[in-house]
Structures are given as C-alpha cells and as structure tokens.
C-alpha cells in the first residue's frame, strides 16, 4: 500500500492525533506551573478582600518584588519628606505612601519628626496620633501595597506603561547622578532578575496609587461666599495700642466674702476646668482638677557638677583642634572671593587662636554633661537592681510588684553625693498637672531623647502613663512609663544654647496619678509642690485648699469694679496729659512698685502702654482644627481654651468699629474683657480690611491653598493602615487543619481581622 493511500485511509485518525498532541503541548507548561505552584505553595490563598476576592502568596511575593524594584530605582528617596522649611511645597499624599511601603526604622525617626514639623508649619488638621498610626502597621508593607494597587486599579486608575516610561526617563538622571534610563534599567534587570516591563509595571502602579489618593482626597468645591469669609478671616488684621487694667492689681486683701457666697461659687463652677469660658461662665471660673501626677526625682545642678570637673589644659584643646580640622567650628564654607557672592564656595579652616576659647568651653561643657549623666545612670542602675535579669518579664509585672522592687531615691542620692562629692537632690513633688509642669522653670525644659528616639518633653512622657493616657507616644518614641519605673536621665533643653550654667539634669519616676475629677468638697487640699533645690524643707508652701482658690476668685471679681473706675480715671488723665505721661503717673500712684524708684525706671511696670499687631479673628473651623492638632497633647485643653479666649477678645475689638470705618472714633474706648478679668483702655486701633480688588487677586490662591490643606489632612485618613484594612475588607485566613472547599470564601469564624 502506498503512503498516499495510507494517509487517505487514516486521515481522520491522524488529524485527531495531531489535535491531541497540540493540546498537550499547549497545556503542559501551565500544568507544570500549576503543579509547581501547588508544590511550593506560592499559589495558596492567604487572604481575602472585598467580596471574596483572593490574595495568594504569589501576589505578596510579586508585591515584595515591586517594592524592591522601586527601592532600586531610587523612588524611596524621592518619597521621603524634605527639610520642613519647604513645608508648603511638600505633598503628604505623595510622602505618606513612601512611609507606608518603605518602613526602614533607621530613617523613620527623622521622617516622623519632619512630618510633624510640616504639619505644624502648614497648620494642617492632623494630630500626632494620626501621624503615629502611619507607623503602626499590623501587616507587612507588601499587604498594603497589594491592597492599595488593587484599590486604584478597580477604581479605574491605571497609568499606561508609556507614561510610566516617559516619567522615569526624566526622573532617573536626577536620582542617579546623570545616569540614563537604559543604564539604570539594565542594572535593575540584572540585579533583580526582572524585565523592563516588570520595572515599568511597578512604577506605573506607584503612580496609580498616588493619583487615586489625590482623587479620593479632593475636597468639595467652595462657594464664593465661603471663600470670601475664609479670606477675610485670614487676611484682615487689627493693630491696637492699649493699657490693661487687671482686677489682680486692685484686689483688696482685707475683703472677706461671706461663707454662703463662697459655697455658692464653688457649687456653681466645681464641674468646670479653669479657663473654660462659656455663656454661663464668662470669667472662666473652674475648680475641677485636671489629670495630675506625683513625681519622685533625683536631680543634679550642673553648676554643682562643674565645680568638680577639671578644666581643659591648652594641650588637650590643641590636640582636639588637630584631630578635628575638617569639622565645625574649625572648618567652614565661604566664597572664594568675599566680595563676589557668585564666586565658588570653598572649604576653609580657622586658626587655633580663632577657635581656642570655643573649643575649651565646648569640651568643658561636654565633660560636665557627661559626668552628670554618668551619676544619674549609676542612680538608675542602683534603683533598678532588684529588677535586673527580668527585663523580658517586666511587662507582666504589676505596678505593685515594680513598686516593691524599687529602691529609695533619697538613700541613693545620699550615697552618690558622698561618692562623687557633689550635691545630689532627691525628693517628691505634689500632684502636678501638665500645665504645672510646663510652667515650672525646672521641669518644663527637661526632655528625654537619644539614638533612635525623638526628643520628648517630660510632660509628654509622664502623661502617657497607663492610668491617665492623656498623652500620645508614637511607635518610635520611648515606651509609655509605668508607676515607679525610671524615666531618664532627663536633660535640660536650655543647655543646648545657653551652656550648663543654671541648668539641671534629673531622673524621675511617677509614684501616683489622679484622673480629672471634681473636688469632693471645698476643703480638699491641692499640693503643687515642685522641684526645690534651695529650700528642700519647704513642703506645703505650694499647698492650698479649694476654698482658698474660690476666695481668691471672689476677691478678683469684687475688684473688677475698682479696675473699671481706675480705667475711666486713666482715660480722663490720658486725654489731658497724654498716654505715656498718664502711664507713668499711674505707676507712681497705683503701681505695685510705687515705693521703689528703681521699679518705676525699670522694665517691670504694673501698667504699660503696649502694642499688638496682626491680630485676626478665629472661627469655629480653626478651633476644630486646633482640637484635632492637639489630640494626644497633655496640654490640649489649655491651648484650645486659650485660642477661644483670644478669639473672643478680637471679636470684641472688631465690634467697636463700624463696617464703613477702619479706626476708632476717638481714643479712650474702654473694653471689658471678662475671660482675663480686666479692662482694656484703647489708645488707637486700626483694622486692615480686605477690599474687593485684593480679594479678586487673592481668591484663586486661597482656594488652591485651602484645598491643598484639606487634602493633606485627608491623606492621613486614606493611608492609615487600619483604614486601608477596613475599607478593603481585608481578612487573613487562619491556619487550620480543616481546609475550606475550593473556590469558596471562608466563613466568618475562619477569618480574623488583623
């Protein structure tokens, strides 16, 4: 039988065989890939999002690969916050994605500090708590990258590969010192073993995520009236010249309010914090006690330590000079031609004679600081001796166990005083509020900081204690303290600029706390004793009862009438003799230092002719922004109440001038200001109004600015790790012995929100 006849007879069977062979060829590779994935587990579903959409282990590996590609491209650096002085040009909608997917701890400390400064300088409605939450991520960066890219893609935001390439061609030379696109892509292909298309896909996804964030954080359009009102508030200001007559100046110490009046005052305002002004409480009376802490301290005065430190010899200073020729202040940068600001910058070196005194002073100060710190570190070691070796278990210890293991501060201070021949102080404060600490000259400048830790004030740290939690500490800050745990050594911030003279260094611990509460009765005792160096036995000097505070308030209230009459007397005299002359005469007659001629000629007068410029109104939206900004700040209540009172004063001033005028009708207007318990005598006032021409020129910029500010605040909500997980309905699959049915979504009891 010929070959052709055979083919004709069996052609159908042959064609069937060929089709089967082709099918095997085309399916063998996917089958091999499938079996390989099944064997390695990369295709295993590890989580779900949305309405049962899957995330496999392979998806996470691809996300990690994309993040590494972006890092190699240099995008990580492109997304880092810059110097806060350029806050107005830095878009946090771009910066925050970098903080989310490139969580390198070594640079996160600097980044979080810069972001906080940018928020503060831009006056964005963002709290420290919101910033800290960006760095508190319960899942790896790759999970957030998967969720964010899919969110953008599913919303229809996906950048074309061609656009991504054109952008990279412009960016790469800037990031890699002039290297070309092809050079860097070649390096990435070889190092990361990826194709150019994969590189472009990663960068395209990054642009998509950023653009989606910009879209979702866009705010609603404002009406022209809203723009006008906001621009008015921001650009219209007041300049005012005035003399203040406070009730404090005219208090009659012999005045004794009746017992019924005292009780009535207490009952009426015992539920208010001091400074809380309202329609029913225009003076801001308040006897409710804020959150407070009692501190024990071991303290050193740096002047005392300095007396035990040997000054530097000239040889030591010269050796330092020779070893640090390339460092400031020895080395500096200057123009090669001092007369030409366009000339080249060159590195120059100062002679030893020029910097000898600076070197000696700086090194001596370092020695003083180092010795003080060494003493306090030894104190810390001694007081923690009973807890040594159980650091890993300390989180499980109760406060009572920590207290039991603590060592007496006074005993340790005495031992160290003897050992180092320098006075070491130890004592306990009264119950101090955050405002008490901030107003105290010895405690307010104290801060804790160090490698990998942002500098934190004492108030910020102690009010983060578990029993109060009125302060917010971030994941990169020190851990929240516990009762009887050492805090410090704490350094004095004034030392940075003013040297060691008059400064302190301390080790402190919280020994008790009190939550905000109404006083139980009018005779409740308040002890605000602070750190004392010169009068250690003056316990109780800062102790008062609530009754005493109530009586003082009633005395000041009674003195308001006298303050008003003296203000009227002053205005009449000023109209006759001139304002400066009237001020001098009142200081001689009514001033607290009227019998001291040095006081009258000096700077500390009872009455002064003052000027305030640039005062502007504060609306409710700005108050709400402040409340958000200060969330997690232990002094938030005081700061917000202060802003409210300031706004009330400015509103009163505005009300004095008709809309068709810019100045007072005549000098001598008297304004009662109840929140300050005083009267303002106004010599002159000028309102710098916003006119139509200026508004027409400014309105576009104001709209852009407001939209930008609002978008910055919304970005922290959009990129909040918890919010990403919540809105994407992300759930991880728990590891179980029983396996869910293929292609089925685990039931609720098989999921866990992380």
Q: Is-contact 645 676, C-beta < 8 A?
A: yes
Q: What is the DSSP letter of 482?
A: -
Contact present, 302 and 369 (Cβ < 8 Å):
yes
- Contact by Cβ (8 Å): 207, 163: yes
**Residue 551 pLDDT class (50, 70, 90 cuts):** very high
| pTM of the complete model | 0.78
Average pLDDT over residues 168-182: 84
Angstrom distance (rounded) from CA 705 to CA 707? 5
pLDDT number for residue 599: 43
pLDDT per residue over 286-342, tens digit each? 999 999 999 999 999 998 898 888 888 888 888 888 888 888 888 888 887 777 777
Structural Rg of the chain based on CA atoms: 35
Burial class (CB in 10 A: 0-12, 13-18, 19+), 36: exposed
Q: Roughly what angle, to the nearest 10 degrees, separates helices 196-216 and 181-192?
A: 110
Cβ atoms of 510 and 294 within 8 Å: the answer is yes
417: how many CB neighbours lie within 10 A of its CB? 17
| CA dist 43 → 60, 194, 560, 607 (Å) | 10, 20, 79, 80
656-691: burial string, b at 16+ Cβ within 10 Å, e else: bbeeeeeebeebbbebebbbbbbbbbbbbbebeebe
Q: Using CB atoms within 10 Å of the CB of residue 700, give its burial: 0 to 12 exposed, 13 to 18 middle, 19+ buried.
A: exposed
pLDDT value at residue 41: 59
Kindly tell me if the per-residue pLDDT of 537 is higher than 60.
Answer: no
Which single residue is written with the structure tokens 């978008």?
A: 711
* pLDDT tens per residue across span 592-631: 754 444 444 444 578 888 899 888 888 887 888 888 888 8
Rounded to 5 degrees, what are φ and ψ at 174? -75, -35
Q: CA torsion sign, 10 to 16 to 22 to 27? A: negative
- Bridge-partner residues for 612, per DSSP? 240
Gap between the Cα atoms of 517 and 11, Å rounded: 98
Which letter, b or e, does each residue of 368-384 get, where b requires 16 or more Cβ atoms within 10 Å of its Cβ? bbebbbebbebbbebbb
Q: Could you give phi then psi for residue 663, rounded to 5 degrees?
A: -135, 170
Say yes or no to pLDDT of 451 above 50. Answer: no
Q: How confident is the model at residue 540 (pLDDT cuts 50, 70, 90)?
A: very low
473 pLDDT exceeds 50? yes
Please state, rounded to an integer, the average pLDDT across all residues of the chain.
Answer: 81
pLDDT at residue 711, as a whole number: 84
Predicted local confidence at residue 542, as pLDDT: 65
């Amino acid at each position: 039988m010929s070959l052709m006849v055979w083919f004709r007879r069996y052609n159908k069977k042959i064609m069937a065989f060929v089709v089967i062979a082709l099918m095997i060829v085309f399916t063998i590779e996917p089958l091999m890939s499938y079996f390989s994935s099944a064997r390695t587990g990369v295709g295993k579903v590890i989580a779900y999002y949305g309405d049962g959409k899957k995330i496999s282990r392979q998806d996470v590996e691809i996300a990690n690969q994309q993040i590494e590609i972006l890092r190699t491209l240099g995008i990580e650096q492109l997304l880092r916050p810059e110097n806060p002085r350029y806050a107005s040009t830095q878009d946090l909608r771009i910066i925050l994605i970098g903080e989310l997917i490139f969580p390198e701890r070594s640079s996160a400390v600097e980044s979080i500090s810069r972001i906080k400064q940018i928020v503060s300088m831009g006056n964005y409605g963002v709290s420290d708590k919101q910033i800290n939450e960006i760095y508190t991520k319960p899942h790896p960066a790759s999970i957030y990258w998967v969720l964010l890219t899919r969110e953008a893609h599913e919303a229809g935001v996906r950048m074309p590969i061609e656009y991504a390439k054109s952008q990279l061609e412009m960016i790469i030379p800037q990031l890699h010192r002039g290297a070309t696109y092809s050079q860097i892509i070649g390096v990435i292909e070889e190092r990361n073993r990826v194709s150019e298309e994969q590189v472009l896909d990663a960068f395209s996804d990054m642009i998509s995520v950023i653009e989606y964030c910009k879209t979702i954080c866009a705010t609603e359009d404002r009406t022209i009236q809203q723009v006008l009102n906001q621009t008015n508030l921001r650009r219209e200001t007041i300049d005012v010249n005035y003399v203040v007559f406070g009730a404090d100046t005219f208090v009659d110490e012999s005045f004794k309010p009746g017992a019924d009046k005292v009780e009535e005052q207490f009952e009426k305002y015992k539920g208010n914090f001091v400074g809380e002004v309202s329609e029913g409480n225009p003076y801001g009376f308040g006897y409710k006690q804020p959150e407070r802490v009692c501190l024990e301290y071991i303290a050193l005065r740096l002047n005392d330590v300095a007396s035990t430190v040997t000054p530097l010899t000239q040889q030591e200073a010269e050796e330092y000079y020779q070893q640090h020729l390339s460092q400031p202040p020895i080395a500096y940068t200057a123009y090669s031609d001092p007369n030409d600001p366009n000339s080249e910058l060159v590195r120059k070196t100062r002679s030893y004679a020029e910097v000898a005194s600076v070197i000696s002073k700086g090194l001596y100060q370092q020695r003083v600081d180092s010795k003080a710190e060494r003493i306090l570190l030894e104190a810390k070691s001694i007081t923690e001796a009973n807890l040594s070796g159980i650091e890993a278990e300390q989180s499980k210890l109760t406060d009572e166990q920590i207290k039991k293991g603590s060592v007496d501060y006074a005993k340790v201070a005495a031992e160290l005083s003897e050992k180092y021949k320098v006075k070491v102080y130890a004592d306990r404060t009264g119950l101090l509020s955050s405002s008490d600490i901030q107003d105290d000259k010895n405690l307010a400048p104290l801060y804790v900081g160090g490698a990998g830790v942002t500098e934190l004030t004492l108030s910020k740290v102690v009010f983060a204690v578990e029993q109060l939690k009125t302060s917010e500490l971030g994941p990169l800050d020190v851990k929240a303290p516990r009762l009887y745990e050492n805090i410090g050594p704490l350094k004095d911030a004034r030392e940075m600029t003013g040297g060691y003279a008059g400064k302190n260094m301390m080790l402190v611990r919280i020994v008790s706390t009190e939550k905000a509460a109404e006083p139980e009765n009018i005779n409740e005792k308040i002890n605000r004793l602070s750190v004392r160096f010169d009068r250690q036995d003056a316990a109780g000097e800062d102790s008062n009862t609530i009754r005493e505070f109530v009586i003082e308030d009633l005395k000041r209230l009674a003195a308001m009438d006298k303050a008003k009459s003296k203000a009227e007397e002053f205005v009449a005299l000023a109209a006759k003799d001139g304002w400066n002359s009237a001020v001098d005469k009142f200081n001689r007659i009514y001033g607290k230092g009227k019998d001291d001629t040095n006081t009258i000629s000096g700077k500390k007068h009872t009455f002064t002719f003052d000027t305030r410029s640039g005062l502007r109104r504060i609306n409710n939206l700005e108050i709400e922004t402040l409340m958000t900004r200060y969330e997690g700040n232990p002094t938030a209540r005081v700061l917000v109440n202060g802003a409210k009172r300031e706004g009330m004063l400015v509103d009163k001033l505005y009300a004095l001038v008709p809309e068709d005028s810019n100045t007072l009708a005549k000098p001598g207007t008297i304004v009662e200001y109840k929140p300050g318990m005083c009267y303002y005598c106004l010599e002159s006032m000028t309102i710098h109004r916003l006119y139509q021409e200026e508004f027409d020129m400014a309105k576009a910029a104001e709209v852009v600015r407001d939209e930008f500010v609002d978008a910055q605040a919304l970005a922290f909500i959009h990129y909040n790790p918890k919010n990403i997980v919540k809105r994407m309905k992300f759930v991880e699959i728990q590891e179980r012995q029983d396996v869910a049915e293929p292609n089925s979504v685990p039931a609720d009891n098989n999921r866990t929100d992380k």
